A and B are shown apart, each in its own frame.
Chain A
């Protein structure tokens, strides 16, 4: 037999059972009634206790359990709604992330195109500027060469004119001294014939 509370309660149970063994035999209801009376259990008290318990239960259920359950259900609904919203938000966030990634990719492509176009335009502009500068330089060089040639020709012409003037002047001086009257008369006759033949 295992040791427990039963051996300690055994004398108490024997004391309770002794008067019953001495009394006349009675039914189970009577026995139960005597047991209740022996322990001080009164039916009216039990009834009051039951009514009080029911009233307390109703009050507690009305003002404690029911609002708590409603609050918990509401919270559960909120939590479910929150989870649902979180999932939707996660989906939307994922979609937004994908969309933003696509937008960024498109923007990068567009930016690359713009940069490439800008480089192309800049290169064309630089080439054009270089070509124009080269053309201007060539034009300036050609004009300078032409100016030099003109100046050279002008100088040559001036020198030639000056030499011719000096030659003519010298010739005139020589002829003025060397021509005799006979030479002039002969020249005059020839000139008169020439003028008469016009």
Chain B
């Protein structure tokens, strides 16, 4: 249990070392991986899993997946990316992904956050309200 705590703390410290100006730096990540490979700390496999999860989560926070039904222009994606960049105070990119089940509207995923304005979502809300 104490080993788990130490491993989590070390993974958190390595993750902080991987950030440059609040963004994941590939060079820093490579340096961290080289350190882990060379030093081989205890519970290295668990440490790498925790570190990977933190990096993936951080990278997901910098990317907005925009699900849509119907055509979406690049200007719309740029508008959403700018709004998310402003909201999260970090550079956020946006990519589109068609999803006909939404009927109409947009669903934006950033990390574990979801923002939705779709016809299917409104119908689901209506169904739950009844």
- Interface positions of A (Cβ within 8 A of B): 160-161, 163-165, 167-168, 171-172, 175-176, 179, 181, 183-185, 187-198
Contacts and interface: CB of A to CB of B under 8 A. Distances in A.
B23 interface: no
Given A195-B115, A196-B80, A184 B130 contact: no
B83 A198 contact: yes
Contacts of B9: none
Interface of B: 68-72, 76, 79-80, 82-83, 87, 100, 103-106, 108, 115, 117-120, 123-124, 126-127, 130
A168 B129 CA distance: 12
Contact of B126 (A160, A164, A192, A194): A164
B33 to A, nearest CB: 36
Nearest to A193: B79
A176 B103 contact: yes
The main secondary structure of chain A at its interface with chain B is: helix
A179 B108 contact: no
Contacts of B72: 185, 188, 192
A179 B106 contact: no
B104 A172 contact: no
B115 A188 contact: no
A192 B80 contact: yes
A187 B104 contact: yes
Contacts of A176: 100, 103
Given A188-B68, A189-B76, A196-B79, A172 B117 contact: no
A190 B83 CA distance: 14
A185 to B, nearest CB: 5
A196 B106 contact: no
Nearest to A184: B70
A49 B11 CA distance: 166
Given A187-B119, A196-B79, A181 B87 contact: no
